[in-house]
Amino acid sequence: MSKRCLDFAKEPTGIYGLAIPTGGGKTLASLRFALEHTRIHEKERIIYVTPFTTIIEQNAQVVRDILKEDRYILEHHSNILQEEIVDQKNKQNQGGLEERREREEVSMKDNWEAPIIFTTMVQFLDVIYSRGTRNPRRFHQLYHAVIIFDEVQSLPVHCTYLFNEAINYLKNFAQTTSILCTATQPALNNLDKKLQKDKDILEKSELQKIEAAFERVEIIDKTTQSAWNIKDTVSLIEEILQERNNLLVILNTKKAVLELYQLLAEQSSEEIELYHLSTAMCPAHRKQILKEINVKLNAKNQQRKLVCITTQLIEAGIDISFEAVIRSSAGLDSIAQAAGRCNRNGEQPNKQPVYIIRLEKN
């Protein structure tokens, strides 16, 4: 896949799709294309756009580890924005050395001057469509660039028209190449304002071979049974843990996640390490918990059973792998993304189970 992306980089400016199964290495493959495409066609910069800040921090660190040069990489998202703080200090006329340094750093972020930029879809669309002057001042940096859109299936439906218009314009008038990366490509061509997509980097025959090689899970459909309550879900968790060392449970609402976590915490023994994740937590807290979970999952001798109960925030782009997954019923794209958190790196030679359940009041 990586070699195919490298060879494809000679293609002219356009809009291309990169559909790779979850865990297939699309981050590095897309960056390999972007670097070679930039070299061949003398593009100005690479912009990596993701739906969630957790993916930015994870992928930016991967690139830093490869390039060994932090100054070439800029992260611009809500977790590190300082504009409001600096503006407040300016109003208070605090003009010390520290404040001036902060203003210089904010100026660099405002203008997107780095060769490689990691940002969110919100920031990207704000550059084009938001009012005022702060965000549009970055607009010229979108010209003659390569833009990688990771997990593009997470784009909200009400934003698809704006998204199509934006990257069609960048292709036709700004000589900018866009790459749409996802394991579950959205049907952006079905809108009235169609996406002017040129072609996919991987041909259908190639993709079928890759998908066959990445058959690492078995989907077990339990939605044909009557609706499950929280106690039924706890029973399934206990049954799975008799054979597995760790388990991921993904539910559709924060309320359901909290109810299941609390009930399991009351009933489970000290042999189980229990984690809870949702967007109700601040980003720094979620990042800390994900890091702790990853460390324990990757430990050679896992001392205790581990269960993580979470909303769908863990589905898109998070590099984490469990021995089994329970997913509350959702769209096919969500189920495919949830399956990508099970046996992600092929740790187990056999297919591992992904259970689909229908929860009451889902």
Q: What are phi and psi of 316, to 5 degrees?
A: -95, 105
Estimate to the nearest angstrom the gap between the alpha carbon of 169 and the chain centroid.
25
pTM here is 0.77
Q: Which two tokens stand for residue 31?
A: 């960056």
Token pair for 95: 């003009």
Q: How confident is the model at residue 280 (pLDDT cuts 50, 70, 90)?
A: confident
Identify the structural domains of the chain with CATH numbers, from first to last. 2-212 (3.40.50.300), 215-357 (3.40.50.300)
Comparison of pLDDT for 329 and 205, the residue scoring more: 329
Q: What value does the mean pLDDT of the chain take? A: 85
pLDDT-derived band at 103 (thresholds 50, 70, 90) equals low
Range scoring the smallest mean pLDDT among 38-47, 65-74, 216-225, 329-338: 65-74
What value does the mean pLDDT take over residues 289-317? Answer: 87
Measured distance CA(340)–CA(184) in Å, rounded: 11
Dihedral pair phi/psi, residue 154, rounded to 5°: -80, 0
Q: Residue 72: what pLDDT?
A: 80
Q: CA 100, CA 283: separation in Å to the nearest integer?
A: 28
Residue 78 is predicted with a pLDDT of 61
pLDDT surpassing 70 at residue 100:
no
pLDDT at 97 over 70: no
Q: Where are the alpha helices (DSSP H) in 25-120?
A: 26-41, 53-67, 83-91, 97-111
pLDDT of residue 93: 52
Percent of the chain scoring above 70 in pLDDT: 88
Range 338-360 average pLDDT: 89
What average pLDDT does the segment 310-337 reach?
88
The top-scoring range by mean pLDDT among 75-84, 207-216, 251-260, 310-319 is: 251-260
Measured CA distances, 292 to 22, 63, 234, 274, 286 (Å) = 22, 22, 23, 12, 10
Whole-number pLDDT of residue 86: 45
Average pLDDT over residues 2-25: 88
Is the predicted pLDDT of residue 343 greater than 50, yes or no? yes
**Does residue 262 or residue 270 have the better pLDDT?**
262
- pLDDT recorded at residue 83: 47
C-alpha dihedral, 108 to 114 to 117 to 120, nearest 10° = 20
Report residue 300 as tokens: 């050679």
Calculate mean pLDDT across residues 19-41: 88
Q: pLDDT (tens digit, 9 = 90+) per residue, 55-92? A: 787 788 888 888 877 778 888 766 555 544 445 555 55
Per-residue pLDDT tens digits for 123-161? 999 999 998 888 888 999 999 999 999 988 888 888 899
pLDDT band at 23 (very low <50, low <70, confident <90, very high): low
193-233 pLDDT, tens digit per residue, is 889 999 999 887 777 776 666 678 999 999 988 888 999 99
Torsion angle in degrees (nearest 10) through CA of 201, 205, 207, 211? -170
